Amino acid sequence: MTRSRRVIIASLVSNLVIAFAKLAVAAVTGSSAMLAEALHSVVDTGNSLMIWLGVRRSRRPPDADHPFGHGKELYFWSFVVAVSMFSVGGGISVYEGILRIRRPEPPSNLGWSYAVIAVAIVSTTASLMVALREMRRRNPEIRVIDFVRRSKDPAVFTVIIEEISDLLGLAIAFAAITLSYELNRPIFDGLGSIAIGLIMIGLSGVLANESRKLLVGEAADQKQVEQIRRVVEQDPGVKKVGQLLTMHLGPREILVNVEIEFEPQGSLDRLEKTIDRIEQKIRSKNHSVRQIFLEAKSLHSAEQK
């Protein structure tokens, strides 16, 4: 099992268990904030399944219709997850909160609500720790916000966004239920539901933007690009490196296109050996590179030498 799949499965199990518990308690207590949290967990469960599906489909080998593989399937499904968070999770939570403000009802059986919130916090934190450990394994010094911006693997950063959203929602649900009971103002329960929905809508926008960039064709990390350029420039058969283009075809699949001016090679055989050597060096330094295209700017002069 890959590390990304472990992160997804940990999130899926956590969300599935919590969703059932929250739905049951929401039915018993009548809390709008708890219902919003239950919808939150149901959406997260569906999102984990979609990301898992995206991971599976992205690993299919290239074929005639998709010569560069299916790596971007994962980016598509992460975008669908963002839409789901916005419409199903965020939209319904806000709508439920507005209804509760218009027809306020005080929540009951607070003990059950607090118990579920406590269990949910523990479970969500455990799932978040699994995702953060994977993030630290890949880059020990990176901040969460930078990882979300720079990572090319939605299977990990989507879980991080979801679990942070869950913890914020649980804190709001706790505050909303407590204020509704202590102050005898049921309106706080509806306001809590709206706040939870707005958090989901905001974070879905972050996820949608990151998925959009990857779907459109985001370049490799700048450090990777600079490393590839150094490898090519240091080869004795290269006179000058021009434009270097990269694009992620998947989390660990990079396409590289390099514009090269070669030193005089003397023969096509030597030129072919130089090209093979450069490609091997690039792949040895970066195992994510799958496709390499070298644009030789002096092939004609090399043939005449």
pLDDT at position 282 over 90:
yes
Indicate if 107 and 140 belong to the same structural domain.
yes
The CATH number of whichever domain residue 297 belongs to comes to 3.30.70.1350
Token readout for 183 is 């102050």
3-38 CB burial, b ≥16 within 10 A, e <16: ebeebbebbbebbbebbebbbebbeebbbbbbbbbb
Indicate if 227 and 211 belong to the same structural domain.
no
Indicate if 240 and 95 belong to the same structural domain.
no
pLDDT at position 226 over 80:
yes
Domain span at residue 252?
A: 222-304
Beta carbons within 8 Å of 274's beta carbon, 6+ residues apart: 235, 237, 238, 262, 265
Indicate if 37 and 66 belong to the same structural domain.
yes
User: Phi/psi of residue 15, each to 5°?
Assistant: -65, -35
d(CA 274, CA 238): 9
What is the pLDDT, as a whole number, of residue 107?
67
Residue 17's pLDDT band, with cuts at 50, 70 and 90, is: confident
Indicate if 46 and 171 belong to the same structural domain.
yes
180-218 CB burial, b ≥16 within 10 A, e <16: bbeeeebbbbbbbbbbbbebbbebbebbbebbeebeeeb
DSSP 235: S
Q: What is the pLDDT of residues 81-99, one digit of tens each?
A: 988 888 878 888 898 889 8
Is 177 exposed, middle or buried (CB count within 10 Å of its CB: 0-12, 13-18, 19+)? buried
Q: What is the pLDDT of residues 109-150, one digit of tens each?
A: 778 888 888 888 988 898 899 889 988 988 888 899 888 888
Q: Position 10: which residue type?
A: A
For the chain, the domain total comes to: 2
More confident residue, 92 or 199: 199
Say if residues 208 and 82 touch (Cβ distance below 8 Å): yes
Percentage, residues of the chain above pLDDT 90: 29
Say if residues 83 and 204 touch (Cβ distance below 8 Å): yes
Closest CA to 72 of 254, 223, 229: 254
